[in-house]
Copies of this chain bind each other. A is one copy, B any other.
Amino acid sequence: MHNSADASELSPRRRPTMADVAERAGVSRTLVSLIFSDKPGASDDTRGRVLRAADELAYQPDRAAQLLARGRSRTLGVLTDVKQTFQAEMIGTVYDAAEAAGYEVLLSASGPTRDERKAIEALLSHRCEGLILFNPLSESDYLRSVALRAALTIVGRGVPDATANTVRSADATGIAQSVEHLVALGHRDIVHIDGGEHAVSTERRLAYVAAMRRHRLDAFVRVFPGAHDEAAGMAAASVLLGEDVLPTAVMAGNDRCALGVMDGFTKAGVSIPDDVSIVGYDDSPLSSLTRIDLTTVRQDSAELARRALAFTVSMLDTADAEPGECVIEPELVIRGTTAAARPTSPEAGAPR
């Protein structure tokens, strides 16, 4: 602990309270309260006096006290990995939609160094009534317990048996389209780089395997461990480069990973798409740049965000709170990193 004198020493500038405002305006506390919550019961005259007094004191209602006194907080918590640009895009939409619905938004960041659970508990401790979690990787058990404490919406995965809303993009469709596209171009030796422990990764991985099977390419199925960042892609590329024969196509867990793969290959003199085709996932803003020109799967981030917010709010605002589920169809965006498979000799193309 710190020296207890702190409080007084450091805050000679104590926050002004409603009482201060009331005194300065020569009215009662109640009046100030009424006026600040825009309720009838105060004359325009006093209303003006009070607001002026508040302004002069730089008075600001204290959320903590409001929260305590009111039943509801009308606050929504959002868990996000700030470093994932795909999520960052959704945040803006969430803010706008929340404001329209009359809710405040609190952000909490998860990340490699920060415990996700702590981030969620922090949100809860601030009395968030609703929670929107982007790609949470906590175990389902825990998420179920969270669902008991707040209106929960999970973006990017489902949680069995939880009273939670689910919003996600149909990863299986996106992956299937990618495989389809590659197969149509003559590819058979198609490698998938996994996205790590996130639930979306699992889904994409399984979808990849299933799609390969459908095309009778069981023998070529190959999943590489990875993550959703450039470094993982580069690592995977360097391993692949060390092997006898390169695959003809690589499907990365997301765009950032794909960029890493491209980088590793390009550095090694492997030409894309002549030697190897690459497919990403997310259609991040960079994918469309000419220098990148990445074939990838587009998810409608704004729509995902809007639906997530709508679910959360409706669960809070309407009595019959049925948890909703929403799956948005993604779309393959074909660009310059995919082309016809390079010719491979029969044995070279064989699985290892």
Contact = CB atoms under 8 A, between A and B. Distances in A.
Interface of A: 2, 6-7, 9-11, 13, 15, 58, 60-65, 67-68, 71-73, 80, 82-83, 85, 88-89, 91-92, 95-96, 104-109, 111-114, 121-122, 124-127, 145, 148-149, 230, 259, 262-263, 266-267, 285-286, 289-292, 316-317, 319, 321
15 contacts: A6-B317, A6-B319, A10-B319, A11-B71, A15-B149, A60-B125, A61-B125, A64-B65, A68-B68, A104-B122, A106-B107, A230-B289, A259-B289, A259-B291, A291-B292
A60 B15 CA distance: 27
Contacts of A145: 58
A241 to B, nearest CB: 14
A150 to B, nearest CB: 10
A82 B72 contact: no
A108 B106 CA distance: 7
A107 B104 contact: no
- The 9 A-B residue pairs whose C-beta atoms are closest, nearest first, are A107-B107, A7-B71, A64-B67, A82-B88, A266-B290, A63-B125, A64-B64, A263-B289, A82-B91
In the complex this chain forms, how many copies of it are found? 2
Given A6-B71, A82-B91, A291-B292, 8 more contacts: A7-B71, A9-B319, A60-B121, A60-B149, A64-B67, A64-B68, A91-B111, A95-B113
A285 B230 contact: yes
A106 B106 contact: yes
Contact of A291 (B91, B96, B112, B263): B263
A83 B83 contact: no
A49 to B, nearest CB: 22
Contacts of A63: 64, 125-127
A13 B148 contact: yes
A118 B36 CA distance: 16
A85 B230 CA distance: 14
Contacts of A122: 104
